Amino acid sequence: MSAAKQGDRKGSGEWREFFWNPRTHELLGRTAASWGLILLFYLVFYLFLAGMFMLTMYIMLLTLDDYKPTWQDRLATPGMMIRPKGNQLELTYSLTQTKSWEGFVQNLDSFLTPYNDTQQVQMNDDCIPDQYFIQEDSGEVRNNPKRSCQFNRSMLEECSGFPDRSYGYSQGQPCVLIKLNRVIGMLPGKDGQSPLVTCAAKREDSDKMGPLAYYPPNGTFNLMYYPYYGKKAQVNYTQPLVAVKFLNASLNTDIDVECKITSNTLAPGSERDKFAGRVSFKLRIDNK
Ligand SMILES: *[C@@H]1O[C@H](CO)[C@@H](O)[C@H](O)[C@H]1NC(C)=O
Ligand SMILES: *[C@@H]1O[C@H](CO)[C@@H](O)[C@H](O)[C@H]1NC(C)=O
Ligand SMILES: *[C@@H]1O[C@H](CO)[C@@H](O)[C@H](O)[C@H]1NC(C)=O
Ligand SMILES: *[C@@H]1O[C@H](CO)[C@@H](O)[C@H](O)[C@H]1NC(C)=O
Ligand SMILES: *[C@@H]1O[C@H](CO)[C@@H](O)[C@H](O)[C@H]1NC(C)=O
């Protein structure tokens, strides 16, 4: 028993000595000088790593261009979006309940505010239609900021919110605005042919959908709004819109609508990518 106790004491004494040896002045088996060297080594090592990191970052940032993304998805055909933004691309409302469509009208009102004619005239140029508005930089000399073309709210005619403040929602002839996602440098047409939007009902819903009206005429995104040079270069860019008005949609039934872009330069959206160049939404107008 006493031998075991002695061994114990000896073991703990050894351990204590390992932690701090008063004779050799070693802490955890190393002298102060040795510890100092180790700390110095790690300090230098980590400073070196940090330096390497900062140098790489600096070189990378030098190669970045504020005005152009270094990486951009090479989407053959951009996606499209609708306004008003409904819940899950569903525009469902009741003619008899003002509250059910008020939200849509407010959404359109605020979305279209920057499109007010007076504002467009202040911000943007009255461009020549049906041709690209090219403003390239000449070599290293930046041609910034770049100008943009006017897209007047009044070009949406019946869907501009004037004089019909409800965008047709109160009469069961709702307007839906369609925009093409911005892609820097995209040229969406050639030979003066602007890309255009066409909407159709899916499956056997075409009788239910009824005729449509497009604004601007033919549902085109005019070429003068392209190419887009990016938010920073083209500060006042106003995305062109196409408004679709449902003139005689059937009531009390779901109508699945799909709108597509037709262009002579953009590939038609493949079956693989169901968002390229198209947008689908559900429309339902109730009268009770
Ligand atoms: C846009 O124009 C309409 C009518 O012309 C006006 O009621 C509205 O206040 C204008 N909005 C802005 C932000 O100028
Ligand atoms: C942007 O619009 C403002 C007016 O809101 C105008 O003063 C400015 O010149 C415009 N800038 C460009 C680059 O078009
Ligand atoms: C926009 O409206 C202004 C004033 O109403 C007009 O002078 C201009 O030509 C219009 N721009 C386009 C592109 O229609
Ligand atoms: C609409 O398209 C038709 C046929 O493609 C064309 O004849 C007409 O000029 C176009 N209208 C406008 C305003 O572009
Ligand atoms: C609207 O569509 C209905 C069928 O859904 C049809 O009976 C009616 O004649 C159409 N109205 C007009 C003005 O086209």
The residue nearest atom 2 of ligand 1, judged by CA position, is 116
Q: Which pLDDT score is estimated for 194?
A: 95
In this structure, what token pair is assigned to residue 288?
């009770």
The residue nearest atom 4 of ligand 3, judged by CA position, is 117
Q: Which domain holds residue 127?
A: 80-286
CA of 126 to the centre of ligand 2 (A): 13
Q: Which pLDDT score is estimated for 9?
A: 56
Whole-number Å distance between alpha carbons of 167 and 175: 6
Ligand sitting nearest the alpha carbon of 214: 4
Are 261 and 208 members of one domain?
yes
187 CA to centre of own chain: 19
113, 118, 122, best to mutate for ligand 2 pocket (most atoms within 8 Å of CB): 122
Q: Which pLDDT score is estimated for 1?
A: 44
Q: Which pLDDT score is estimated for 71?
A: 67
Give per-10-residue mean pLDDT for the chain (288 aa).
51 73 78 88 95 93 75 74 88 94 95 96 95 86 87 96 94 96 90 94 87 96 94 93 96 94 82 82 93
Q: What are φ and ψ of residue 44, in 5° steps?
A: -65, -40
Are 172 and 224 members of one domain?
yes
Residue-wise pLDDT tens digits, 233-250: 899 999 999 999 999 999
| Residue 236 backbone class (left: φ over 0; alpha: ψ -120 to 50; beta: rest) | alpha
Q: Does the residue 200 lie in any domain?
A: yes
CATH number for the domain harbouring residue 180? 2.60.40.1660
Q: Does the residue 275 lie in any domain?
A: yes
| Residue 230 backbone class (left: φ over 0; alpha: ψ -120 to 50; beta: rest) | left
Are 107 and 249 members of one domain?
yes
Q: Does the residue 69 lie in any domain?
A: no
**Max CA pair span of the chain:** 106
Residues flanking ligand 2, CB < 6 Å: 122-123, 145, 147-148, 235-236
Q: Which residues are registered as beta bridge partners of 196?
A: 220, 262
Contact present, 101 and 169 (Cβ < 8 Å): yes
Are 121 and 254 members of one domain?
yes
Are 172 and 130 members of one domain?
yes
Are 45 and 157 members of one domain?
no
Residues in the chain: 288
Whole-number Å distance between alpha carbons of 185 and 75: 12
The number of distinct structural domains making up the chain is 2
Are 281 and 151 members of one domain?
yes
Are 126 and 6 members of one domain?
no
Q: Does the residue 272 lie in any domain?
A: yes
Are 54 and 85 members of one domain?
no
Residue-wise pLDDT tens digits, 11-65: 667 777 777 777 777 778 778 888 889 999 999 999 999 999 999 999 988 887 7
Spatial CB neighbours of 186, under 8 Å, sequence gap ≥ 6 = 78, 226, 227, 228, 266
Q: Does the residue 207 lie in any domain?
A: yes
Choose one of 30, 63, 96: the last residue of a domain.
63
Are 93 and 57 members of one domain?
no
Are 124 and 56 members of one domain?
no
Q: Does the residue 70 lie in any domain?
A: no
Q: Does the residue 168 lie in any domain?
A: yes
Is 97 a pocket residue for ligand 5 (Cβ < 6 Å)? no
pTM of the full predicted structure? 0.79
Are 92 and 40 members of one domain?
no
DSSP readout, the chain? -HHHHHHHHHHHHHHHHHHEETTTTEETTEEHHHHHHHHHHHHHHHHHHHHHHHHHHHHHHHH-BTTB-S-----SS--EEEES--BTTEEEEETT-HHHHHHHHHHHHHHHGGG-HHHHHHHSB-PPTTS------BTTB---SPP-B---GGGGGGGSSSS-TTTTGGGT--EEEEEEPP-BT----STT---EEEEEESGGGHHHH--EEEESGGGB--GGG-SB--TTTSTT-----EEEEESSPPSSS-EEEEEEEE-SSSPPPPSS-TTTTEEEEEEEEE--
Q: Does the residue 112 lie in any domain?
A: yes
248, 251, 253, 285, best to mutate for ligand 5 pocket (most atoms within 8 Å of CB): 248
